[in-house]
Amino acid sequence: MSLNIIGIGLADEKDITVKGLELVKKSDVIYLESYTSKLAVPVSALERFYGKKVELADRKLVEIEAEENLLKPAKTKEITLLVIGDALSATTHIDLIQRAVEMKINTNVVHNASVLTAIGATGLQLYKFGKVASIPFTHGDYEPDTPYAILTENQSIGAHTLFLLDLKPDENKFMTANDALRYLQKLEIKQGKGLVKDNTLVVGCARLGAKDQLIFAGKAKDVIKKDFGAPVHCLIIPGKLHFVEEDALRCFQ
């Protein structure tokens, strides 16, 4: 018996790997972690393709009630947690594995594509990305400048910056690339380092890995007006570009 943490990719029910599907088929209980990203298809599509019932797992179930719902049951049953993207992109899933090891529970991890690799579709070279930054929804006085600090650090070494955008799937609330750029512009006014100006090169992405993925590269003043459509979005501010990267980005202007 074991705990299986399976990355199911970015787009639809068919993105799961053969190894992952084999584990799903023999699972007794299957959860879909539903709070760190959004799949482009409904849960019913997964259930039809897998031939199994899939239950949604919110943050409380995975993090606070993990022992009761995932870990202890995995001592006598095959328990599977499906993760949109890669199995271990979110630190909460790494913590889950550590707890399983401490409880001497057998674990299986199946990796898959994530936004961290899918951004290669922009033509920007993956090894030239620096630290990843998250842009949160603001409320009250909560308006952290961490995203700008990470951008500053990455720009100092010529590295690209990937911004992951906040989401609250249970409220059907997803930050757009446009709002993320507005957030960075507000921080620019406060910081004044000239890193996010109207003519700054920015790359907005939506639904990476899906058939209708959208990538748009251009000046910030143009990207902020672009309709990127349905979630999930992300934003990139490139660092120093290789001429091959420059050529690639022209395809998305």
Q: What's the confidence (pLDDT) of residue 91?
A: 81
Could you give the CA distance from residue 232 to residue 62 in angstroms, rounded to a whole number? 21
Q: What's the confidence (pLDDT) of residue 163?
A: 98
Across 226-248, average pLDDT: 97
Say yes or no: do domains 2-113 and 116-250 share a fold: no
Angle between helices 146-156 and 177-191 (to 10 degrees): 80
Summarised one tens digit per residue, pLDDT across range 61-107 is 998 999 999 999 999 999 999 999 999 988 888 999 999 999 999 99
Parallel, antiparallel, or unpaired: how do β-strands 233-237 and 201-206 relate? Answer: antiparallel
Residue 36: which pLDDT band, with cuts at 50, 70 and 90?
A: confident
Across 208-229, average pLDDT: 97
Hey, CA dihedral for 39, 43, 46, 48, is it positive or negative?
Answer: negative
CATH number for 2-113: choose from 3.40.1010.10, 3.40.50.10470, 3.60.10.10, 3.30.1330.10.
3.40.1010.10
Q: What's the confidence (pLDDT) of residue 89?
A: 87
Sequence spans of domains, the chain: 2-113, 116-250
Summarised one tens digit per residue, pLDDT across range 127-160 is 999 999 999 998 877 889 999 999 999 999 999 9
Could you give the CA distance from residue 71 to residue 205 in angstroms, rounded to a whole number? 36
Yes or no: is domain 116-250 CATH 3.30.950.10? yes
Q: What is the chain's mean pLDDT, rounded?
A: 95
Could you give the CA distance from residue 84 to residue 16 in angstroms, rounded to a whole number? 10
Across 163-184, average pLDDT: 95
Q: What's the confidence (pLDDT) of residue 138?
A: 86
